A and B are shown apart, each in its own frame.
Chain A
Amino acid sequence: MLEVIHPGPFTTIQDLGRHGYQRYGVSVTGVMDIQSHTLANLLVGNEPDEATFEITYSGAKFKFHTSALIAIAGGNMMPLVSGEAIQSGRPVYVSAGSVLHFSKLKSGCRVYLAVAGGWGVPTVLQSKSTFLRAGMGGFEGRILQKGDTISYTTQQREQSLSVEWHAVSDHWWKRDFVRVMKGPEINRFTSEQIRRFTSIPYTVSSQSDRMGYRLTGEAIQKEVSEEMISEPVTFGTIQLPSDGQPIVLMADRQTTGGYPRIAQVVRADLCVLAQKKPGDTVQFEWVEFEQARKLSYAVHHWTKEVQASIEMRRKSRALY
């Protein structure tokens, strides 16, 4: 059993999202940084769609009442196990009574904590993701609080993976440029506005959360504001409301939206945004749709390779 000693400012349980219910207005939710979440899961032998903790900013503290195999990936929050620094991107065996402390945010914004076998929360509509707005999924549909206890499968040291394995976990997101492709309403903007959109960096505003990132910078306003009928929107859709400051829709977005969609963040780069905190800057860069799709397939292949490589090490260890 895990006990929350300090939940940190914003910690939720998320998997790869609740798919299949958007037609009923149910947001997909799920992790913000798909690659880091996937890596944390793979390192402990889980499937990529198992649920992890998504810890935002810093300051969380958890006690493991029984031994466990865990992995951390994503932002760097100086993790300590019972006072000793541990590394991200590798499986770590923690003995019964250990305290895991995320002390200080050094880079990124979100960290993912996976446990071998997954966190023991119920599956609701085929997912363990927390949908905060509707109070469903995850741990009682809410952010974690002090005193919450969550079950997991106890692991003995012999069962745990080789600690020699280490994967670089930050090369996916440690940069400031975010590749985007043209959105369906791009023709509503002038070529000068389209050029400016990628020529100057935008700052992530303090009004940014799991639903969307509000960016401040170059305002791209249209002379006439047109009413739009709501159409589907997705993770990474960049809308431009009438004030001309872009909003990037993130994991907890609504299923449909009515603002002009100037651009769409390529799937492979969503993690770059997910690891930005208010005050950080991003610069957009246009790519073609075909390029975006190639990048997306590359992420899929990377996942398969990491999974195969970990499985191989595990098998070869079992031989000796």
Chain B
Amino acid sequence: MKSFWLSEDLWIIRFNQSETTSAHIRAIEKIITTRFQDVIRETIPTTTTLGIYVHTTSPRTMINKLEHEWEALAQTAIFDVDHQPRIIDIPVVYGGEEGPDLAFVAEHTGLSEEQVVEKHTSVLYPVEMIGFAPGFPYLAGLPEEIFAPRKETPREKIVAGSVGIAGSQTGIYSISTPGGWQIIGRTTVELFLSNEDPPSLLQPGDLVRFVALGRDEDA
């Protein structure tokens, strides 16, 4: 583990990728934010780091304390082995107008379109982090057989709900935005909930299951 200040108020703890799971990072996040709640403004867990924003007006002594005590505190982080993650089903219409790049992914991987869909719906994907756009989940665990490169030229607009593949990652566009992922399908489930708190359907640690819908079914 390594920690450093990026700016006056953002402190980053970088974990050893091979040794740390995202569940571990979240357990450490919880124990540090509980202990230093007066100093910490917000935290951002990512795949391999924990970003900690402190209040710029916090007394220097408290910030020093956080700097010196976090590592010992992290050692005491307990994770609940019995904790059952939430499983969230995302119904998707694959291919066609909803998934214009399904054919490309099939061609690239040497599979049929049906096989790509079968692979994509065959596993539970852990949400590693939410980023890039509000409510946008970074999902781990894409089967290697359907890895596919980003588009060379990003699209100017990808509609919200589009399900994409980029390299070894899969994700769901939570808002309409430009983007370079290969779009294989679309869901009508809303991921960014602008009128709710928290404003994201998914949280780090959830498991996502894609469910293929027939074209006539209501996604």
Binding site for B on A (CB under 8 A): 19-27, 124-125, 131, 133-136, 183-184, 229-237, 254-256, 261, 264, 266-267, 289, 292-293, 296, 300
Determine if B42 and A20 form an interchain contact, defined as CB atoms under 8 angstroms apart.
yes
Whether A133 pairs with B133 at a CB distance below 8 angstroms is yes
Q: A125–B193 Cα gap in the complex (Å)?
A: 11
A19 in contact with B129 given A184-B6, A237-B7, A264-B7 (CB within 8 Å): no
- Other than the given A25-B200, A133-B175, A135-B175, 15 more pairs (CB < 8 A) read A25-B133, A25-B135, A25-B174, A229-B46, A230-B138, A234-B6, A236-B7, A237-B6, A254-B132, A254-B133, A255-B44, A256-B44, A289-B5, A289-B8, A300-B57
State whether the Cβ of B10 lies closer than 8 Å to any Cβ in chain A. Answer: yes
CB closest chain-A residue, reference B200: A24
Residues of B within 8 A of A (CB): 4-10, 12, 14, 17, 41-49, 51, 53, 56-57, 129-136, 138, 174-175, 177, 192, 194, 197-200, 204
Q: In chain A, what residue has the closest Cβ to B193?
A: A24
Dominant SS among interface residues on chain B: loop
Which residues of B are found within 8 Å of A296, using beta-carbon distances? 8-9, 56
What CA separation (Å) do A41 and B150 show in the bound complex? Answer: 46
Given contacts A19-B41, A19-B42, A124-B194, contact A293 B6 (CB under 8 A): no
Q: What's the minimum C-beta distance from B140 to chain A, rounded to whole angstroms?
A: 11
Task: Specify which chain A residues have a CB less than 8 angstroms from the CB of B194 in the assembled complex.
Answer: 124, 134-136
How far does the alpha carbon of A24 sit from the alpha carbon of B45 in the complex, in Å? 10
Give the distance to chain A from B80, nearest Cβ to Cβ, in Å: 20
A125, B199: Cβ atoms closer than 8 Å = yes
Cβ of A25: which chain B residues have Cβ within 8 Å of it? 130-136, 174, 192, 200
CB distance from B67 to the nearest CB of A (A): 12
Taken together as a complex, chains A and B put the C-alpha atoms of A159 and B176 apart, in Å, by: 47
Q: A267 vs B7: C-alpha distance in the bound complex, in angstroms?
A: 8
CB neighbours (8 Å) of B197 from chain A are 125
Q: Across the interface, do B53 and A26 meet the contact criterion of CB distance under 8 Å? A: no
**Complex: how many Å from CA A87 to CA B120?**
62
Cα A255 to Cα B130 in complex, Å, equals 9
Chain A residues with CB under 8 A of B192: 25, 134
Choice from A22, A134, A266 contacting B133 with Cβ under 8 Å: A134
Could you give 20 example pairs across A and B, Cβ below 8 Å?
A: A19-B41, A19-B53, A21-B198, A23-B44, A23-B130, A24-B200, A25-B192, A135-B194, A184-B4, A230-B46, A230-B132, A231-B14, A231-B46, A231-B48, A231-B51, A232-B12, A254-B132, A256-B46, A266-B8, A289-B8
